[in-house]
Structure 1
Amino acid sequence: MADNASIARPYAKAVFDLAQETDSYESWTVALENLSAISQDESFSALVSDPRVDGSKVVELLTDLSKDSLPDGGENFVNLLVQNDRLLALDDIQQQFSELVAKAKALANAEVLTAIALTDDQKTSLTSALEARLGMKVVIEETVDASIVGGAIVKAGDLVIDGSAQGRIEKLTTTLMR
């Protein structure tokens, strides 16, 4: 949701700044993943949206459920989210925080959609080519989808390369229709 993405931006940046100051990227990553998973639970969502439930009880429940993973400042962060009614943005906060950490570590995640699984040599070659193009270390997440017929679709940040057979056919069709 676009609204949650824009709402999440300042929270993700604030947590990122705190994690950067205290060199606690990993602990904040784990904490945000846990908080995000909890916030997406239907029972928890129903509890949070119940007007009879006091915000302090929601904070207490969230901190109890994630106390093992909350770094310093985590309880204050949870309290702030509850006070400002921003628990629905936790998933977006977690995603944006991960992107900020990846950028700070000069690390890019590349989603690769292929018709058949890549061999180790192909993964190595693709990783090297993407690292050269993006100027940072690349981690590939591969998904196999036979519906693209052949080739691959690569998404790394703003970069999208559609080398699938389906994409090429669509491009050819568009060109011929002009």
Structure 2
Amino acid sequence: MAQETTVARPYAEAAFELAREAEALAGWADGLALAATVVADERVDAVLGNPRVDDERKAGLILEVCGDALDPQQRNFIRLLVNRDRITLLPEIRQQFDLLRADHEKTLRAELITAQPVDDTVRDRLARALSDRLEREVTLEIRLDESLIGGAVVRAGDLVIDGSVRGRLARLTGALSR
């Protein structure tokens, strides 16, 4: 995984620069997401892994499935990845592109994991507090996890705030065992 990240990073940065210069970050994000979904399909993956299929046909397959959703620069980027035998890294490239875009736009997706549903007022207040603390526009997604017993866990990038009963019990157990 770390090696994939290292190899994918320069491609993600190049795609990001092309998108930024063209003022088309959203279009590139959508195009990379679509192409990454196509590449991740097991039928397409079988063709991409077949040594008897030449690069032109591999790229053609992806581009045909994507149709008109990709602009000429994006189509060339797909061809480049196929020619350099890096097309299977497209999901990782897309993920790194999304991180670069979020950093550029000062946005962050955070996840609130709770044992019980949260009303909109609490969600909005927490999103504002995270936005203030992290100095980014935070989009908060909520996920229920009944195994937490109570409380909540917030994950925002590298930041994890564990206020769950399960987390408190784990910390207490660790403190008592020392």
Please give the TM-score of this superposition, normalised by the length of structure 2: 0.96
Deviations 1:99-118 (A, max 9, x none): 11111111111011111121
Number of the residue aligned with 2:136: 136
CA–CA separation in structure 2 for the residues paired with 1:53 and 1:72: 23
Deviation at 1:26, TM superposition (A): 1.1
1:176 and 2:172 aligned = no
Number of the residue aligned with 2:42: 42
Secondary structure (helix, strand or coil) at the match of 1:68 reads helix
Structure 2 segments unaligned to the other structure (5+ residues): none
Structure 1 segments unaligned to the other structure (5+ residues): none
Q: Is the 8 A contact 1:4 1:88 kept in 2?
A: no
Number of the residue aligned with 1:51: 51
CA–CA separation in structure 1 for the residues paired with 2:112 and 2:8: 26
**Superposition pairs for residues 159-170 of structure 1, below 5 Å?**
159-170=159-170
Aligned length: 178
Deviation at 1:67, TM superposition (A): 3.0
Deviation at 1:144, TM superposition (A): 0.7
CA–CA separation in structure 2 for the residues paired with 1:171 and 1:7: 38
Deviation at 1:69, TM superposition (A): 1.4
CA RMSD of aligned residues (A): 1.0
Percent of aligned positions with the same letter in both sequences?
40
- Higher deviation after alignment, 59-68 or 101-110: 59-68
Secondary structure (helix, strand or coil) at the match of 1:153 reads strand
Deviations 1:135-160 (A, max 9, x none): 11100111111011111111111111
**Superposition pairs for residues 13-28 of structure 1, below 5 Å?**
13-28=13-28
Deviations 1:39-69 (A, max 9, x none): 1111111111111111110111111111321
Deviations 1:1-47 (A, max 9, x none): 22222221111111111110000011111111111101111111111
The amino acid that maps onto 1:169 is L
Please give the TM-score of this superposition, normalised by the length of structure 1: 0.96
Number of the residue aligned with 2:63: 63
Secondary structure (helix, strand or coil) at the match of 1:34 reads helix
